[in-house]
Structure formats: structure tokens, C-alpha cells
Copies of this chain bind each other. A is one copy, B any other.
Amino acid sequence: MTYCVGLKIDRGLVFMSDTRTNAGVDSISIFRKMYTWEEPGERVLVMLAAGNLATTQAVVSLLDERSKAPAERSPSILQTPSMYQTARLVGNTVKEVIASSAPTGQNADAFGASFILGGQIKGTEPRLFLIYPEGNFIETSEDTPFFQIGETKYGKPILVRAYEPTMTFAETAKLLMVSFDSTVKSNLSVGLPLDFLYYERDSYKVGYRKRIGHDDPYYREISDGWSDALKSAFKRLPDFQE
């Protein structure tokens, strides 16, 4: 499996993804699931991928290739006029890859993949989309300001409770680390290192990017600190009376 989160805050967009892929528990590898396209001053696009690794890599390769030889397919991901058109382009590429993986009426579910796509194109607002294996997609709203893909359940309660649109990037980094740590502690199919990236609105360049490994001192501090904080928060809750 996989765990990826994309968050929209007032200041911009924040992304985190794990790197574990597995085919069964005895075939584990590390693959980056965060992809970026950047034209400084013009556009920044960030994509997180979950699902069949062959599908997600094919989608990214096609998007990449076509941006380098735009004659082949126009507009490329570096030329789309809006984030909405970018999401459509990605969605169509996903459909194309999945259809060609299951050409003879095979069950396409095995080739499925979902994506979180966020970014900003000069002259438009930052936007964040969730793209389904069927190629259609939804966008964040005030009520649903973040998307998760992969093993989403363990890390959801803290996101639901602690997210605020006015958060700083440092606070969202903390929030995402807690959400990922809860997931990693509960599910073998999600694993470190993590990729973290944030984009500040109207900056048109990647603001910060870091790979967080097992030995990352801040991650360790959060992981241990959150266990202790939960235990003592729990202790302070009022006791049950029969």
C-alpha cells in the first residue's frame, strides 16, 4: 500500500508521501511517490501516487515525455492553461494507461491507481485535486480541505481534529508527521522514508522539500513525543463512573 496526503491551507499547499511499495509482505521496495514539475515563475505542479506501481510510473513517464516532446501531445503538462485542465490531462493519461494495461477485457481493478494533484499556474489560484482510476476527479473545498490516498484510515482522526486553514507550514509538517507516524505504527505496508514538500501561494517555485528517514531527529522527537502526549492526554481525561 501507500499513504499520501495533500493539504490546502491559506498559505499554500502541503504534501507528504511514504515510499514503501509491496507485492505481498515478502517483496518490499522503496519508490518515490511524489513527482514535481516546475517552471520557476510560471507554474508548480506536485503529484502524489497510490496504487499499481506500473500504472503510476507509466502515467508519470508519459506526462514527462510529452512535456519534453510537446509536439506528440499538446498541451503538455507544462502548457495547460489552468489547474482544471491539468487535472483533466492527468485523468485522461490515467485512463489511457489503465485501458492499455487491461486490453482484452481483463479486470482493470488490479491496474488501478489514484493521484493527488496540486499546484498553481501563473494568474490562477492554487488548487488541489484527487484523481480517480477512472480518470475523473474532485477538488478540495472549504469543508474538505485535504485529500488522502492509500492507507488513509489510521491517520485520518488527527487530520480531522487538528487541521486549521490558518496553519503555518511548520504546523502542517508537524500534523502530517503525526498522521504518518500513526499509520506507520499500525500498518506494515506504509513505511519511511517520507517525502515532504510545501508550496507557498504565488511563489511559483517549490518552497521546501525534504526526505525524512528513520534517523531524522525531528521525526523521532514527534514519534516519541506523540506517544507520550497521547498517553498523558488520555490520563487527564475524566474517569468513567459506573
Contact = CB atoms under 8 A, between A and B. Distances in A.
Given A153-B154, A237-B229, A238-B221, A160 B185 contact: yes
A170 interface: yes
A90 to B, nearest CB: 28
A173 B238 CA distance: 11
Contacts of A222: 237-238
Contact of A186 (B153, B175, B231): B153
Given A236-B229, A237-B174, A240-B170, A186 B160 contact: yes
A225 B241 contact: no
A238 B182 CA distance: 17
B154 A157 contact: yes
Interface residues of A, number: 42
B173 A231 contact: no
B178 A237 contact: yes
A149 to B, nearest CB: 15
A239 interface: yes
Given A160-B186, A182-B157, A186-B153, A175 B229 contact: no
Interface in A208-227: 208, 210, 218, 221-222, 225-227
Interface of A: 151, 153-154, 156-158, 160-162, 169-171, 173-175, 177-178, 182, 185-187, 208, 210, 218, 221-222, 225-227, 229-234, 236-242
Closest 9 CB pairs of A and B: A153-B153, A173-B240, A229-B233, A157-B182, A170-B240, A233-B233, A162-B234, A170-B239, A156-B186
